Structure 1
Amino acid sequence: MRTSEHQAEIATATKTFDRVANSVPEARHWAGKVYAEAGVDECLVEVCELLVSEVVTNAVRHGAGSKCTVSVLPDLWVEVWDDSPMLPRRRVVDSDSEGGRGLEFLEMLAPGYQVLHDATSGGKAVRFLPKGW
């Protein structure tokens, strides 16, 4: 995980969601649609959707503010932003746990993912590019 200051980039598509559990499948579907419309292979669309689900779930559970924003950048990096300055951290989980593996998924499926601080708002963005793109 690389951590640095956030610099705004022009997004291909951006959508803001309420920071509630029901937004997770909505964000997943929306990002998958953007990826599919960009002509990305179906397997990569599914990886994007999985990672968006994980990162938006983390924003909903551990973030701050009433909203989170998902952006797909022109180079197909995906960015999920929320108001919390708290960095994501790996949790120790049992082998039969159903949660707590979001960072593991990012490390496996989007090596080189980034966590970017937004000095202006005090929030952060988790940015990733699915492996294989």
Structure 2
Amino acid sequence: MHLPGQFRAARTFCRKANTVPTARSWTREFYADLGAEEDLLDTCALLITEVAANAVVHGAGAEYTVTVSSDLWIEVWDESPLLPRHREHDLTSEGGRGLDLLEMLAPGYKVVEDATRGGKCVRFQPKGVL
């Protein structure tokens, strides 16, 4: 839930792998303009990369939407109603660590069904923010 007066911005991207770097840059720029420190920018960039990539690979529909807010909550929505799940991975696997990263760097993250648009929203705030 966002408080009145908080600044928010949203941007919709095609659900293609080449849009993930743009989503990362856009998110990083938003928080840099608000004066966030470099380590926080790096954490936001890492998490948005992971969650946006998951929307591209495991989501549904033609688009996904990234919403950022001045309280450092970030949301990624896609049309798939399937909620993310932990996957088995070994040290050499290239995937399967997204939820582990969220648990470590944004422990209050939530995955919720979006009753308005359908699909789901992954919502997170890097730890240590507030």
Indicate whether 1:94 and 2:90 are aligned: yes
Quote the offset at 1:8 in angstroms. 8.7
- Using CA pairs below 8 Å that are at least 6 residues apart, which structure has the higher relative contact order? 1
Indicate whether 1:23 and 2:19 are aligned: yes
Match of 1:114 in 2: 110
Q: Which runs of 5+ in 2 are unaligned?
A: none
Compared with structure 1, are the counterparts of its residues 127 and 21 closer, same or farther at alpha carbon in structure 2 (3 Å cutoff)? same
Matches within 5 A, 1:1-133: 12-133=8-129
d(CA) in 2 for partners of 1:120 and 1:8?
Answer: 17
Find the residue that maps to 1:22 and give its secondary structure: helix
Quote the offset at 1:98 in angstroms. 1.7
- TM normalised by structure 1 equals 0.90
1:24-52: CA deviation from partner (whole Å, max 9, x where unpaired):
11101110001111111110001000000
d(CA) in 2 for partners of 1:75 and 1:121?
Answer: 23
Quote the offset at 1:116 in angstroms. 1.5
d(CA) in 2 for partners of 1:26 and 1:35?
Answer: 14
The amino acid across from 1:68 in the alignment is: Y
Aligned residues: 127
Match of 1:3 in 2: none
The amino acid across from 1:50 in the alignment is: L
d(CA) in 1 for partners of 2:79 and 2:34?
Answer: 29
d(CA) in 2 for partners of 1:8 and 1:68?
Answer: 20
- TM normalised by structure 2 equals 0.92
Quote the offset at 1:132 in angstroms. 1.9
Range with bigger deviation, 83-92 or 119-128: 119-128
Find the residue that maps to 2:24 and give its secondary structure: helix
* Percent pairwise identity: 57
C-alpha RMSD of the superposition: 1.6
Compared with structure 1, are the counterparts of its residues 11 and 86 closer, same or farther at alpha carbon in structure 2 (3 Å cutoff)? farther
Quote the offset at 1:11 in angstroms. 5.5
